[in-house]
Amino acid sequence: MSFKNLGLSEPILKALSHKGYKDPTPIQEKSIPAILEGKDVMASAQTGTGKTASFTLPILNILSHPKNDHKGHHVRALIITPTRELAAQVRENVLTYGSNLDLRSTAIYGGARIHNQQLKLKKGVDILVATPGRLLDLYNQKSVNFNKVEILVLDEADQMLDMGFIHDIKKIISLLPEKRQNLMFTATFSNSFRKLANELVDNPTEISVTSDNETAANVDHYVHPVDKSRKAELLIELIETENWKQALVFTRTKHGADRLTKQLLKVDIKAAAIHGNKTQNNRMKALDSFKNNRIRILVATDVAARGIDIPNMQQVINFDVPTVAKDYVHRIGRTGRAGKFGKAISLVSADEFNLLQDIERLLEQTLDRKIIDGFEPDHSIPVTNHEVAKKKVNNQRGFKKRFNSRRRR
């Protein structure tokens, strides 16, 4: 299957070939024709699958004929994302794929000056990428008009629900014209996602290219049992002895991310942290430095990293085991992309065994325990009993729900 067969116009095909894309990814192959036909779509696909292009390409195609006159503050396609980084990233994709088209786009999000965003909206935009809070602020200030919205996209919808954006999203939807095309993208078809989808989409095409417990086959997963107090020391040892060019390291908390970053910098390992307490500018700068190899280690919390296009990583490290087993799958999705080989390494202390067990049950796999010489833990990590797996995994869903309603990272 080539992009040509999907029904995309010549200027878009040219941009894709300039970008070096040869064939569509599975999510693109399924989504693009359905969206071009004007159908509502709900798709489950994680970052790294080519999800962004699967909605930006057909939107560009649809909006490029006939052209908008740009008068007033009208918006024709509205793409809502949970985080600032993702909004900026989606806008970048729109610019890249639409480089041969005469369409206007902008991204608006909190943490950046509202005045500049108002000026851009004044000129009129065809495609507006926005985070929910800032979008409503600008709407309330009458800087944006939704009367001509033809297409609505909710990107990373499950994360938006996790982050408590449901009221903002419902408010935004209530302001849009009733007749419009709805596209919902999510990492997983969670119950809360389905509930929202039921209210929103009309006889949708349902597309799924991932499953909750799927990780790439070309990723080597293992666990280093270690005492909690020696995790940073062990990480430094691994970075040095295994000579990692770069690694993405996950911590559970913002504070933990900052602390670890300081410890790495102290031994001259170039590192930066991204998490919710960092300014927008700081987060963008860290990400940019990482992408351009100016820093070696990026330390991230789950929410800050989710949805962000971090290029294929050879190593993804769980400095802390995630409290929600599914987050393990999201984290590990950063390695082993496009068939490349990757390592998923978890530093596990004895108090995290229960969390590790949840993950192993979700994956239906026991991860190899590899003790590093000189880092033998005081307490060993038992082997997971998979016999009671089903019951536990079911319980965990309830736990996730309760946990998410409290979670603000």
- Name the site residues for ligand AMP (rule: CB under 6 A): 21, 24-25, 28, 47-53, 309
What does the alpha-carbon distance between residue 67 and residue 269 come to, in Å, rounded to a whole number?
50
Geometric angle at alpha carbon 146, from 140 and 152, rounded to 5°: 120
Least distance in Å: CB of 185 to ligand AMP?
9
Report CA torsion sign: 16, 19, 24, 30. negative
Q: CB-wise, 52 or 246, nearer to ligand AMP?
A: 52
Least distance in Å: CB of 184 to ligand AMP?
15
Least distance in Å: CB of 24 to ligand AMP?
5
**385-388: long-range contacts at Cβ-Cβ below 8 A with a sequence spacing of 24 or more?**
386/360, 386/361
Q: CB-wise, 23 or 202, nearer to ligand AMP?
A: 23
Least distance in Å: CB of 129 to ligand AMP?
13
Q: CB-wise, 230 or 326, nearer to ligand AMP?
A: 326
Least distance in Å: CB of 329 to ligand AMP?
15
Q: CB-wise, 93 or 143, nearer to ligand AMP?
A: 93
Q: CB-wise, 308 or 344, nearer to ligand AMP?
A: 308
Q: CB-wise, 4 or 397, nearer to ligand AMP?
A: 4
Nearest to 213 by CA among 365, 107, 59: 365
Least distance in Å: CB of 144 to ligand AMP?
25
Least distance in Å: CB of 274 to ligand AMP?
16
Q: Which residue has the tokens 């290029």?
A: 311
Least distance in Å: CB of 310 to ligand AMP?
9
What does the alpha-carbon distance between residue 389 and residue 395 come to, in Å, rounded to a whole number?
10
What does the alpha-carbon distance between residue 361 and residue 213 come to, in Å, rounded to a whole number?
9
What does the alpha-carbon distance between residue 88 and residue 20 come to, in Å, rounded to a whole number?
21
Q: CB-wise, 209 or 299, nearer to ligand AMP?
A: 209
Nearest to 44 by CA among 196, 157, 192: 157
Q: CB-wise, 54 or 346, nearer to ligand AMP?
A: 54
Per DSSP, the three-state class of 224 is strand
Phi-psi region of 164 (alpha: psi -120 to 50; beta: other; left: phi over 0): left
Q: CB-wise, 226 or 304, nearer to ligand AMP?
A: 304
DSSP designation for 313: B
Q: Cα separations (Å) of 110 from 66, 107, 115, 116, 289?
A: 32, 10, 12, 12, 22
How would DSSP label each residue in 327-339?
A: HHHHHHTTBSGGG
Least distance in Å: CB of 235 to ligand AMP?
27
342 touches 317 (CB < 8 A): no
